[in-house]
């Protein structure tokens, strides 16, 4: 077992395997590091920055940073959580989010993060951008108002589905997700069974006609906060 080693998160020793990132090692040890763009099974992206931790005092994204023997990771600190709250707020004010009308409510990772961090209203002013929706595809709906630029659809389509249906275009605050056609999703080879159709953490990319198949009250984050599944792994281990 020479491929395993240990390091600490908030002073508690955790075990990692060579090649693992901090977030993978933490998950395995039952330590929840808040994250939004990270999605198991996809290449870590590092865009949302919510998983920022301190490694020997230096900020790094836990999803892209490899674990290394003996490093000291700070995850839970007032300072870091303040920055995370700022980042969560930024995701809200950058787009147009209508939690109460969104069929993803209860299953939405951004909303769940806000609840976990006790955010009832963002501290920053809303930007109210004008963004397009695309309902042309028979089975899939894009509402860019709710897009958080996590890149999951881009990656899943490219790396898992092998289709490159999505890509970011523009830059800076003009950045948006575009599709591989002149304008519409309907003109691409996207299929409802694609991995890309299921990875959106928010309600920007939705399958049609299944919105309320799972009733409110039985959704992922209705009863326990986001991250509980990871943390319950910890209590089981102890």
Partner 1 sequence: MQTSTNGTIISLCKDYGNSPMRLMDVVQAVQAKFGHVSGEAMEIIARQLGTHRVEVQGVVSFYAFLSEQPQGKIVIRLSNCAMGNIGGAQQIGEALEQELGISFGQTTPDSMISLEHTSCIGMCDQCPAALVNDVVVTGLTPDSAREMARKLKQTGDPRSLITQPGEGNNASELVNQMVRNNLRKAGEVIFSDYQPGAALAKALELSPEELIGQIKDSKLRGRGGAGFPTGMKWEFARRAKGERRFVICNADEGEPGTFKDRVILTQMPELMIEGMTLAGYAIGSSEGIIYLRGEYAYLRRFLEATLDQRRAAGLLGKDIGGKAGFYFDIRIQMGAGAYICGEETALIASAEGGRGEPKNRPPFPAQKGYLDAPTIVNNVETFCCAARVAENGPAWFAAIGDPESPGTKLLSVSGDIERPGVYEMEMGVTVTELLAEVGAQDAVAVQVGGPSGQCIGQDKFDNRISYSDLATGGSMMVFGPQRDVLEIASHFMEFFIEESCGFCTPCRVGNVLLKQRLDLIREGQGEPSDIDYLTELGKAVKVTSRCGLGQTSPNPILTTIENFRALYDSKLHEVTDGMQSTFDINKALGDAVRVQGRQPVHFDD
Report CA-CA distances (Å) from 145 to 71, 94, 187.
40, 9, 21
Instruction: Rule CB under 8 A: choose which of 182, 212, 217, 235 binds partner 1.
Output: 182
Q: How far apart, in Å, do the first and last CA atoms of the chain sit?
A: 22
Could you give the CA distance from residue 66 to residue 19 in angstroms, rounded to a whole number?
7
Token match 């881009």: residue? Answer: 154
Give the contact letters, 88-127, x = binds to partner 1 (CB under 8 A), - = no.
--xx-xx-----------------------------xx-x
**By CB under 8 A, is residue 130 in contact with partner 1?**
no
Instruction: Rule CB under 8 A: choose which of 149, 199, 202, 206 binds partner 1.
Output: 149
**By CB under 8 A, is residue 38 in contact with partner 1?**
no
Rounded least distance, CB 127 to partner 1, Å = 7
**By CB under 8 A, is residue 69 in contact with partner 1?**
no
Could you give the CA distance from residue 230 to residue 27 in angstroms, rounded to a whole number?
6
Rounded least distance, CB 55 to partner 1, Å = 12
Could you give the CA distance from residue 24 to residue 17 in angstroms, rounded to a whole number?
9
Whether the CB-CB separation of 212 and 203 falls below 8 Å is answered with no
Candidates 1-9, 63-71, 111-119, 205-213; binding stretch for partner 1 (CB under 8 A): 63-71
- If residue 4 lies in a helix (H) or strand (E), which one and from where to where? strand 4-9
**By CB under 8 A, is residue 180 in contact with partner 1?**
yes
Rg (alpha carbons) of the chain, rounded to whole number:
18
**By CB under 8 A, is residue 3 in contact with partner 1?**
no
**Which residues of this chain interact with partner 1, rule CB under 8 A?**
44, 46-49, 52, 59, 61, 64-66, 82-83, 86-87, 90-91, 93-94, 124-125, 127, 148-149, 164-175, 178-182
């Amino acid at each position: 077992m020479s491929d395993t080693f240990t390091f600490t998160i908030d002073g508690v020793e955790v075990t990692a395997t060579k090649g693992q990132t901090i977030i993978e090692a933490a998950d395995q040890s039952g330590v929840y590091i808040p994250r939004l763009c990270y999605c198991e099974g996809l290449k870590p992206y590092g865009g949302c920055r919510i998983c920022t931790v301190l490694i020997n005092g230096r900020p790094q994204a836990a999803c892209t940073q490899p674990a290394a023997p003996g490093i000291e990771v700070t995850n839970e600190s007032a300072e870091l959580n303040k920055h995370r709250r700022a980042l969560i707020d930024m995701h809200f004010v950058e787009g147009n989010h209508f939690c109460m009308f969104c069929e993803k409510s209860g299953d939405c990772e951004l909303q769940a993060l806000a609840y976990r961090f006790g955010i009832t209203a963002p501290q920053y002013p809303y930007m109210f951008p004008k963004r397009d929706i695309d309902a042309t595809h028979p089975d899939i709906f894009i509402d860019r108002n709710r897009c958080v630029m996590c890149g999951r659809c881009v990656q899943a389509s490219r790396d898992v589905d092998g289709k490159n249906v999505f890509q970011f275009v523009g830059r800076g605050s003009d950045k948006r997700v575009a599709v591989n056609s002149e304008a519409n999703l309907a003109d691409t080879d996207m299929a409802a069974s694609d991995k890309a159709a299921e990875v959106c953490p928010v309600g920007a990319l939705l399958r049609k006609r299944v919105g309320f198949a799972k009733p409110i009250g039985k959704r992922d984050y209705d009863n326990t906060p986001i991250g509980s599944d990871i943390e319950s792994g910890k209590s089981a281990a102890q």
